[in-house]
């Protein structure tokens, strides 16, 4: 059984049909990427998975349980953490408070404290800025905070929405290295990216979304080599 199984998913924003019959699976231990242009439905897919958007049809099964109709906080408790588009940092709270909020679904105080220290080792800048308002961090630093905060929930599945958006190339490299590291530690990752080049390099498998529909799916390497993907998303050919 797959860790995450999505079947025939439909979602609407008012009259706009954002997702159409989306099928998608994520196996335990994988990095799966969802690529596609702006407005293809990548973020909407993640929003359905974390309970922010109610689907109009279809099923979502995580770890053998249906997620349909569950509130976001209940989904976090089942083991899905979502680092949303635009990072969603609480700018007026401190870096440390942001991390603590990431662990809101947990009650093991000692474990939370240990994880905060661990995050500050993994992301040294978060340690240096622990007491500072998170809004004063740079874009890259905020992205690290968003990832670190999502990890504080100790998720089985991590949803990452455009972690490279608006960041300098060097920082993008760092972020992707971290994504690989997290995965090697056993966290399954569903990665949404416009930067198809980087995403297909780090992922095991990929899906191509176009106007709300899955157009292709394959091993990441096969996708990166296919003519269609190279033309449409990698700007080659």
Partner 1 sequence: MSSFLQFLLKGIAVGSLYALLALGYTMVYGILQFINFAHSDVFMLGAFFSWRLSVLFKINEPSPVAATGVLLGAMALCSLTGFLLERFAYRPLRRAPRLNVLITAIGVSLFIENAGQLVFGKNVVQFPPLLAEHTFEVGGVRVRSVEVIAVVTAFALMVGLHTLVYRTRMGKAMRAVSIDHNIAGLMGIPVDRIISLTFVIGSALAAAAGLLVGITYGQIKQPADSSWVLYGLKAFVAAVIGGIGNVPGAMLGGLLLGLSEQFVAGYLPSELRDAIAFLLLIIILLVRPNGLLGRRVVEKV
Residues at the interface with partner 1 (CB under 8 A): 50-52, 71-73, 76-77, 81-82, 84, 88-93, 97, 100-102, 104-105, 135-139, 142, 149, 153, 166
Instruction: Tell the smallest beta-carbon distance from residue 15 to partner 1 (Å).
Output: 16
Can you list the alpha helix ranges (DSSP code H) found in 70-195? 72-78, 95-102, 109-122, 124-128, 139-151, 169-184
E strand or H helix that includes residue 16? strand 16-26
Residue 171 · residue 10 · CB < 8 Å: no
Tokens of 69: 């109709």
Instruction: Tell the smallest beta-carbon distance from residue 107 to partner 1 (Å).
Output: 10
Instruction: Tell the smallest beta-carbon distance from residue 11 to partner 1 (Å).
Output: 15
Tokens of 231: 């033309």
The tokens 């297909």 sit on which residue? 200
- Report the residue number, 20 or 105, with the smaller CB distance to partner 1: 105
DSSP 134: G
- Report the residue number, 29 or 135, with the smaller CB distance to partner 1: 135
Question: Please, how many CA atoms are within 13 Å of residue 95, restricted to the half-sphere of its CB?
Answer: 24
The tokens 């083991």 sit on which residue? 79
Instruction: Tell the smallest beta-carbon distance from residue 203 to partner 1 (Å).
Output: 22
Residue 189 · residue 32 · CB < 8 Å: yes
- Report the residue number, 149 or 205, with the smaller CB distance to partner 1: 149
Instruction: Tell the smallest beta-carbon distance from residue 50 to partner 1 (Å).
Output: 6
- Report the residue number, 9 or 153, with the smaller CB distance to partner 1: 153
What is the C-alpha to C-alpha distance for residues 114 and 108, in angstroms, rounded to an integer?
10
Q: 63 to each of 4, 26, 60, 181, how far by Cα in Å?
A: 7, 11, 10, 23
- Report the residue number, 154 or 221, with the smaller CB distance to partner 1: 154
Instruction: Tell the smallest beta-carbon distance from residue 10 to partner 1 (Å).
Output: 20
- Report the residue number, 71 or 225, with the smaller CB distance to partner 1: 71
- Report the residue number, 55 or 102, with the smaller CB distance to partner 1: 102
What is the C-alpha to C-alpha distance for residues 40 and 122, in angstroms, rounded to an integer?
33
Instruction: Tell the smallest beta-carbon distance from residue 44 to partner 1 (Å).
Output: 14
DSSP 182: H
């Amino acid at each position: 059984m797959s860790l995450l199984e999505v079947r025939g998913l439909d979602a609407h924003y008012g009259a706009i049909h954002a997702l159409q019959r989306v099928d998608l699976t994520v196996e335990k231990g994988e990095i799966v990427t969802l690529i596609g242009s702006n407005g293809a439905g990548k973020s909407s897919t993640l929003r359905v998975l974390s309970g922010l958007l109610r689907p109009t049809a279809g099923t979502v099964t995580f770890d053998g349980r249906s997620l349909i109709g569950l509130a976001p906080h209940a989904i976090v408790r089942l083991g899905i953490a979502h680092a949303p588009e635009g990072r969603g940092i609480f700018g007026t709270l401190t870096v440390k408070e942001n991390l603590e909020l990431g662990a809101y679904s947990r009650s093991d105080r000692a474990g939370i404290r240990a994880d905060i220290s661990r995050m500050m080792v993994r992301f040294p800048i978060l340690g240096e800025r622990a007491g500072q308002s998170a809004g004063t961090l740079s874009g890259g630093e905020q992205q690290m905070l968003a990832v670190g905060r999502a990890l504080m929930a100790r998720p089985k599945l991590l949803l990452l929405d455009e972690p490279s958006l608006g960041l300098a190339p060097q920082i993008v490299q760092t972020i992707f290295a971290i994504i690989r590291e997290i995965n090697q530690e056993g966290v399954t990752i569903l990665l949404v990216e416009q930067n198809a080049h980087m995403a297909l390099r780090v992922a095991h498998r990929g899906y191509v979304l176009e106007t709300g529909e899955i157009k292709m799916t394959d091993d990441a390497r096969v996708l990166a080599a296919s003519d269609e993907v190279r033309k449409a998303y990698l700007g080659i050919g």
